[in-house]
Structure 1
Amino acid sequence: MNRNTVRWLLGLALVSVIGLAVAWRDRFDVAALQTWVESAGSAAPLVFIALYAAATVLFLPGSVITLAGGVLFGPIWGTLWSLTGATLGAALAFLIARYLGGDWIARRAGPRLSRLNDGVAAEGWRFIAFVRLVPLFPFNLLNYALGLTRIAFLPYVLASALFMLPGALAFTWLGYAGREALSGGEGTVRAILIALALVTSMAFLPRWIRKFRAKPMPDVEELKRQLDAGEELLVLDVRGASEFTGEGGHISGALNLALEDLPKRMAELEDYKQSTIRLVCRTDRRSAQAAQLLTAAGFSDAQPVRGGMTAWLAKGWPSTQ
């Protein structure tokens, strides 16, 4: 039996088990989890972690288990066990996807998918941080999808564990607060307030992580200093040809490639993928869009210059027509 056949069989088996798990997901609730885990006695944490990891692989809702962790183990141990189970499950799903489909995707990926893959790999742990803190995609599906990219396994696991922590802590506290409210414990009000504060703070994380990912935009003074020092960099002017050669002129040595032509002419810049690229337009709006396109295509250091040619000319620095 060759390797491809083994992969197909394993893939079919996995899909079948996922289908069964999803069909029975109505039976998967906090009460059922509590019964299963409490019946394990001293091995309860290990059973909980194993259930969380299996649920992650089988597309069962992780939020239910995290809430159950707060009910069963309290806010501290519940967070630790939930995070351990979620990280283990995310790692397993990643490895399964990479084994079953990584090579196939690499061989058949078109130019657009290859550029996206390069961009994800170039971002590395920053991309993992962003998608873990900003839930743009379902958690379980994302674990498999990331296994099909070129992100290295160890940074994926470490970044996942670190940046899943805020969500695990918030939902665990929420489960713990619910338990305290039902039992009428003395710390009910405090537990509820902490849970609400943690959940509310999650709403501000997307804005914070976007700022964290963004590199500071260089200005024309920094660009002039780099050029005068003879540093190796490409000045890419993304204005149209008429603006580039018009009255305002352009920075000497700049390459002109209009923003609207950039997606279909990306291959012309392949040699600059690991180089410093500074993007210029009349201000910085079009150059910011170009920077996003280049970063998504795997260029490591493509940044717009704040103020563009308007700021450059305001300094009285020379330009070429």
Structure 2
Amino acid sequence: MSGRWLRIGLAAILVAGIAVVVTYRDHLDPAALEAWVAAAGWAGPVVFVALYAVGAVFFLPGSVMTLAGGALFGPVWGTLLNLAGATLGAALAFLVARYLASEWVANRTGGRLARIIRGVEAEGWRFVAFTRLVPLFPFNLLNYALGLTRIPLVSYAVTTFICMAPGALAYTYVGYAGRQAIAGGETAIQTALIALGLLAAVAFLPRLVQRLRGPTEWLDAAELARRLDADQSPLVVDVRGADEFEGELGHIEGAVNIPLDELEDRLEEIPAERPLALVCKTDRRSLAAARQLRSRGYPDVAVVRGGMTAWRAGEGAPSEG
């Protein structure tokens, strides 16, 4: 019973704190924050990291703290302190979510959500790395969402620290450039240009990560045929239209036909715990489907090279038309 009331009390504090931050977030004064931290003297870096961590738990915009870190401590120490504060805050939010709700979620989720969670857990640190390198996922919300999975805390924290570094460096440098611009001097313009270059690099990072990540695996048609004869055979997902599925090229026996434009609405038909082999006429739609499935937490996705064209050319087994 005491554990239950502790959870209720912690949840109440969390909700109240988030409500206060969301209500007054437009009144946050970065200059006042900088003055407060600077007034702490030698303890300023410790105070800053603690404030950053608490702010992350209560949904304080991380950009405010990161820019302030750059202005206060410069590009090098500012980046390190920003990373320390953000990682500590991410770990705290992760633990709060795990303590408050992970057991409840595990016992009550099913269907698509359960499959997504299992897929995220199977990816583990790789999923954390992807979401941290691509700064399109809400930082504060993601911390709590990942706490509902069984990803190990150490892997989560280490990956968060390493993979947030590019974005932290860029935004810290922006804060540093702002302070230099206010102070004036010959280096202000050069500093601003470097900050813009770093921001441009971070903006390009999502596309680069997608390219480097690529499909989980390429499968030749002959290799797919061999795997289909094995005990742990992949599920073949044919992403062509229904007319193509029954058309001239036919389809692979046992394949599930889910056209690419229907994939998002039919994820419940695809088990996240089973290996997937994606096939279309050639490769284009299969690659798009692979990216979509990986973004939804499916860990084991392969693309059949050459698709049904290669399969029908005799590189795989006979198809059914």
Task: Compute the TM-score of the two structures, normalised by the length of structure 2.
Answer: 0.84
**Equivalent residue letter for 2:52:** Y
Aligned residues of 1:120 and 1:296 also touching (Cα < 8 A): no
TM-score, normalised to structure 1, is 0.84
Letter in 1 for 2:222: K
Structure 2 counterpart of 1:224 = 222
Is the contact made by 1:280 and 1:308 (CA closer than 8 Å) also made in structure 2? yes
Determine if the alignment matches structure 1 residue 20 to structure 2 residue 26: no
Pairing 1:109-128 to 2, within 5 Å after superposition: 109-128=109-128
The letter for the 1-side match of 2:112 is R
State whether residues 215 and 291 of structure 2, in contact with CA within 8 Å, keep that contact through their aligned partners in structure 1. no
Q: How do 1:157-306 residues align onto structure 2 when only pairs under 5 Å count?
A: 157-215=157-215, 218=218, 222-225=220-223, 227=225, 233-234=233-234, 236=236, 238=238, 248-249=249-250, 254-259=253-258, 263=266, 266=269, 273=273, 275=275, 277-284=276-283, 287-288=286-287, 291=290, 295=294, 300-306=299-305
Give 1:61 deviation, angstroms.
1.4
Alpha-carbon distance in 2 for matches of 1:69, 1:264? 42
Deviation at 1:29, TM superposition (A): 2.3
State the distance in 2 between where 1:186 and 1:243 align. 65
1:75 to 2:50 alignment: no
- What's the secondary structure of 1:319's corresponding residue? coil
Q: Percent identity?
A: 51
CA drift at 1:249: 4.8
Q: 1:88 to 1:304 in 2, by over 3 A?
A: same
Specify whether residues 242 and 19 from structure 1 end up closer, same or farther in structure 2 by C-alpha distance, changes over 3 A only. closer
2-structure distance, mates of 1:318, 1:15? 58
Show CA shifts across 1:111-149 (max 9, x none): 111011112112222322232233333221221122112
| Alpha-carbon distance in 1 for matches of 2:298, 2:17 | 40
Partner of 1:104: 104
Counterpart Cα distance in 1 of 2:146 and 2:171: 24
Return the offset for 1:265: 7.4
Superposed displacement of residue 188, structure 1:
1.2
Q: Tell me if the contact between 1:241 and 1:256 (Cα under 8 Å) persists in the aligned partners.
A: no
Task: Please say which structure displays the higher CA radius of gyration.
Answer: 1
Who is 1:85 aligned against? 85
3-state secondary structure, aligned to 1:144: helix
Measure the CA separation in 2 of the matches of 1:233 and 1:287.
19
Matched position secondary structure for 1:218: strand
Q: For 1:160-193, what per-residue CA distance to the aligned partner results, in whole angstroms no more than 9, with x for missing partners?
A: 1112111111111111111111111332122111
Deviations 1:79-110 (A, max 9, x none): 11011001000110110011011111111112
The aligned length equals 313
